[in-house]
Amino acid sequence: MRRFRIDCAEETTREWLLAEAFEAGAGGAEESEFDGRFRADIYADPEEIEAVRDAIAALGAPGTRVDPVETLPEVDWSEAWKEGLEALEISPRLLIRPPFVESPSLPEQREVVIEPGQAFGTGNHASTRLCLEWIDGMVSGEIEGPEVGRMLDVGTGSGVLALAAVALGVGQAIGFDLDPVAIEAAEEAARANPNGAAAEFFAGPIEAVSGPPFPLVVANLLKKEMLPIAGEIAARVAPGGRLVLAGLLEEDLPEVLARFGEEGLEEVGRLQHKDPIGLWVSPCLGRA
| pLDDT of 101 | 83
Q: Please, how many CA atoms are within 13 Å of residue 127, restricted to the half-sphere of its CB?
A: 21
Asked if residue 97 lies in contact with residue 88, where contact means CB atoms within 8 angstroms, the answer is: yes
Q: How far apart are CA 123 and CA 88, in angstroms?
A: 7
Whether 2-71 shares its CATH topology with 88-287 is answered: no
| pLDDT of 150 | 97
| pLDDT of 125 | 85
pLDDT digit string, tens, across residues 255-287 = 999 999 999 999 999 999 998 778 999 999 998
Out of 3.30.420.40, 3.30.70.1710, 3.30.565.10, 3.20.20.80, select the CATH number for domain 2-71: 3.30.70.1710
| pLDDT of 62 | 94
Q: How far apart are CA 271 and CA 279, in angstroms?
A: 10
Angle between helix 126-140 and helix 160-167 axes, rounded to 10 deg:
20
Name the strands in the sheet holding 94-97, side by side, starting at the edge strand that comes first in the sequence. Answer: 88-91, 94-97, 110-113
| pLDDT of 122 | 65
| pLDDT of 120 | 58
Per-residue DSSP letter, 102 = -
Q: How far apart are CA 254 and CA 257, in angstroms?
A: 5
Low-confidence residues in the chain, pLDDT < 50: 77, 80-81
Ranges of each domain in the chain? 2-71, 88-287
| pLDDT of 115 | 84
| pLDDT of 199 | 98
Q: Which CATH class is domain 88-287?
A: alpha beta
